[in-house]
Amino acid sequence: MINQYTFCNLKTEGIAAMKARVDQDPKGRKTVHDACDTPCAIERGMRVIGGKWTGSILWHLKDGPVRFNDLARMIGGASKKMITERLRQLQAQGLVTRQVMDTAPVSVQYEITEFGRTALGFLEELRLWSESLPAELIPAQEARRSTGRA
Amino acid sequence: MINQYTFCNLKTEGIAAMKARVDQDPKGRKTVHDACDTPCAIERGMRVIGGKWTGSILWHLKDGPVRFNDLARMIGGASKKMITERLRQLQAQGLVTRQVMDTAPVSVQYEITEFGRTALGFLEELRLWSESLPAELIPAQEARRSTGRA
DNA sequence: CGGCATCCACACGGATACTG
DNA sequence: CAGTATCCGTGTGGATGCCG
């Protein structure tokens, strides 16, 4: 009978791994201890860099500051709206900085912060892993149907 | 005029460290070279393990087979529907296996495959990174409003 | 127990137009 | 150039019920 599991915890004090468990009382009812009180670290991390395009954006900034439209150009498939949205989010989280250059016409530069760079390691790993994936199992990026508006 | 992007192409031949560049021709028009091959790997990877709860599920299977309901219990916050859905997806992608045990009542065991394990590496990295994040910037998991139905 | 079916509220995100 | 505003189809995913 399976009644003992380990899974992710938020407290990293003892690091190693506090073990979350599913226990069974005499009556057979189960309770979880130290479950993912909050969404797991995994989930929480995903909320930060797992947004659509978020990873790509961050990734594109790794080689230096990039201007808005260039960024949009690089990430083919993402609308300006999305780029803006995600950039704002990343900015609010301190992963990138936004700097308006005093030129005409205006130009805005986005740059990854030191903090943002700490995420690149993981992204690199993800990239390597992804590239080893058989193409068939990648869920096709479906084209949304047009809104029908002129 | 937007008419030339290379993105999400699945050719992974040259990969290595292709730098995406935005070039400008004499007339000031810009073109992108080697745009998304690399970054899109990020996006593609996200499509596979970036789904809601997907990472958590995989993560929770790392220590051994787990039964459906126990899995659901562990991942507090996810509905059975989601768990099922994601499990099916993971199964179709060969990251987990599903095995119906011959017991009464039925019990079903999910187990991570060797292939699935290859993803644990960066999930671990993600976990470490996430745990270092200040709690404030984690987008709260908003509670959906009830459907109003009885 | 381990689901599937249904219903439905949103949130997401593309398209488009407009602005300084 | 670098957005903002708006409109709206569509996907996502929680809630609930039923079933073998």
How many other C-beta atoms lie within 10 A of the C-beta of residue B7?
Answer: 20
Compute the 3-state secondary structure of chain A and give helix, strand, coil in percent, each to the nearest 5: 35, 15, 50
Cis peptide before B105 (omega within 30 of 0): yes
Label residues A64-75 b or e (16+ Cβ within 10 Å = b).
ebbebebbbbbb
| Phi and psi at residue A47, to the nearest 5° | -65, -25
Which pLDDT score, from 0 to 100, does residue A104 have?
83
Q: In the beta sheet, which residues pair with residue A82?
A: none
Give dist(CA A112, CA A63) in Å, integer.
9
Cis status of the peptide bond prior to A105, with omega within 30 of 0: yes
Write down which residues 46-105 in B have CB closer than 7 A to strand C.
Answer: 67-70, 80-81, 84, 87-88, 98, 105
Give the span between the Cα atoms of B39 and B34, in whole angstroms.
10
CA distance B34 to B141: 36
Listed as ranges, residues in chain A with pLDDT below 50 are: 1-20, 24-31, 33-34, 148-150
**Is B110 a residue whose pLDDT tops 60?**
yes
Q: What's the CA–C1' distance between A144 and C17, in Å?
A: 20
Cross-chain residue pair A129–B141, CB shorter than 8 Å: no
Contacts of B92 in chain A (CB under 8 A): 137
Query: What value does the mean pLDDT of chain A take?
Result: 74
Q: If we measure between CA atoms, which residue out of A133, A59, A53 comes closest to residue A89?
A: A53
The pTM (predicted TM-score) of the whole model is 0.76
- Contact yes or no for B35 and A131 at CB 8 A: no
What single string gives the DSSP state of each residue in A55-88? HHHHHHTTTS-EEHHHHHHHSTT--HHHHHHHHH
| B32-79 pLDDT per residue, tens | 544 555 557 888 888 889 888 999 999 999 999 999 999 998 888 889
Q: Could you count the other beta carbons within 10 Å of the beta carbon of residue B15?
A: 13
Could you tell me if B83 and B71 are in contact, meaning their C-beta atoms sit under 8 angstroms apart? yes
The whole-number pLDDT of residue B142 equals 58
Which residues in chain A have Cβ-Cβ distances shorter than 8 Å to B139? 47-48
- In angstroms, the CA A37 to CA A17 distance is 15
Q: What pLDDT does residue A4 have? A: 26
Tell me which residue of A108, A107, A130, A109 sits closest to A55, measured CA to CA: A130
Residues of chain A contacting B6 with CB distance shorter than 8 Å: 76
Length of chain A: 150
pLDDT of amino acid B77: 82
